[in-house]
């Protein structure tokens, strides 16, 4: 069988992943005061057991006010670091690389979680002990209808956020994470600065594309400087805004070029999160719908890219790599259903379907297959019965 690129190890700086399958960051809304619980240990641990090369946890806020909800993950204190260490130790024990995404929600602060469609907190929630709070933003434009007007960030706010990213990076390293990703997509704070829809500033952090990219690049410089040189840094982008947006793929390629100059190792290409009134269409959700963005970033910006978005078939993932459209393939919801998807893909693409498994499990499954080879499909099988039965059990395999 031809050597699979999907199952070829990849080395990024001093970190080697056993394959190119990445568990994409997935918010869980299960944290307590930003701290992970046994839910995260089991949820993310099962992806490592399932054979993924890199396992991202969830987007983790760099400061408490940078959360969307009271149940979002965070990494702004030492107590959280200790809790994350349990998770990273287990992921490494299972042979995968633990990774974390650092972010700040900006104006999306003070809401409920995904189950309630991110409904803004109100007085009823305040009476229940969850008062709403105003988020930060480049401009005083609410995230959506019903959300409060956010606080327009001044230069002290900008410095505070940069310091929070630096400190969170150091905590993430102490927590055992080997890869860090900056969340610059999906309508979060950095994306809010990038898009003309949400950034109406007149100072050095607004105006033309260079001004709107300034915070993103400063965060990249800050995190890279705080991160050991042997650990890779990813940056997630919304390659295009949502329906009616203004930030497009040409802007993303320009940003990716600047990120590459600041030693970003991988640009993670997603989309959406900010909507407006332009003619920009909604990206249709079809298999691999964001692969063309990853391809353009890789080819035109000269930086490694990661593709994500309805990639569910092993041969599709393999083709993305073989065609040179991306260096890594990320998955989320398909892994929620099939946490062992990498094992299934290995069976389709390699001659060692059990190589990713824990040795004790692999041994049992290899023995099962050996025994099955003794009775190939179509051969009659007779099962001896207990003494009180007269006819043998027959089954046509």
Please tell me which residue in 47, 84, 177, 188 is annotated as part of the active site.
188
Catalytic site includes residue 47:
no
User: In angstroms, what CA-CA distances link 46 with 7, 49, 75, 192, 241?
Assistant: 19, 5, 22, 34, 33
Tokens of 45: 């641990």
For the annotated catalytic residues, the residue numbers are: 188
């Amino acid at each position: 069988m031809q050597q699979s690129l999907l199952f070829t190890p990849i080395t990024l700086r001093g970190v080697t992943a056993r394959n190119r399958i990445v568990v994409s960051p997935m918010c869980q809304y299960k944290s307590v005061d930003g701290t992970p619980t046994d839910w995260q240990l089991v949820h993310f641990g099962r992806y490592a057991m399932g054979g993924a090369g890199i396992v991202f946890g969830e987007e983790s806020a760099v400061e408490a006010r940078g959360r969307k909800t009271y149940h979002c993950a965070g990494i702004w204190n030492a107590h959280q670091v200790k809790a994350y260490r349990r998770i990273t130790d287990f992921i490494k024990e299972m042979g995968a690389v633990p990774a974390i995404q650092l972010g700040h929600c900006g104006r999306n602060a003070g809401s409920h979680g995904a189950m309630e469609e991110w409904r803004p907190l109100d007085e009823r929630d305040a009476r229940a002990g969850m008062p709403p709070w105003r988020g930060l933003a480049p401009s005083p434009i609410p995230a959506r209808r019903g959300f409060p007007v956010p606080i327009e960030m001044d230069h002290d706010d900008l410095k505070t956020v940069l310091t929070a990213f630096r400190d969170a990076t150091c905590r993430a390293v102490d927590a055992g994470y080997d890869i860090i990703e900056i969340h610059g997509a999906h309508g979060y704070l950095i994306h809010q600065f990038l898009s003309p829809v949400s950034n109406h500033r007149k100072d050095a952090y607004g105006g033309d594309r260079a001004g709107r990219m300034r915070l993103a690049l400063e965060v990249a410089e800050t995190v890279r400087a705080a991160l050991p040189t042997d650990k890779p840094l990813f940056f997630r982008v919304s390659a295009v805004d949502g329906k009616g947006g203004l930030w497009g793929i040409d802007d993303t390629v320009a940003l990716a070029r600047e990120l590459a100059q600041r030693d970003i190792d991988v640009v993670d290409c997603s989309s959406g999160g900010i909507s407006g009134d332009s003619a920009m269409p909604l990206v249709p959700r079809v298999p691999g719908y964001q692969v063309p963005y990853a391809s353009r970033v890789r080819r035109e910006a000269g930086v490694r890219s990661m593709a994500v978005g309805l990639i569910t078939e092993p041969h599709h993932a393999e083709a993305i790599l073989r065609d040179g459209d991306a260096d890594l393939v990320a998955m989320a919801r398909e892994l929620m259903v099939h946490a062992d998807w990498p094992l299934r893909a290995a069976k389709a693409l390699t001659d060692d379907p059990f190589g990713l498994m824990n040795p004790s499990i692999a041994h049992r499954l290899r023995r099962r297959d050996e025994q099955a080879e003794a009775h190939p499909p179509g051969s009659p099988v007779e099962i001896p019965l207990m003494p009180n039965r007269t006819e043998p059990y027959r089954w046509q395999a």
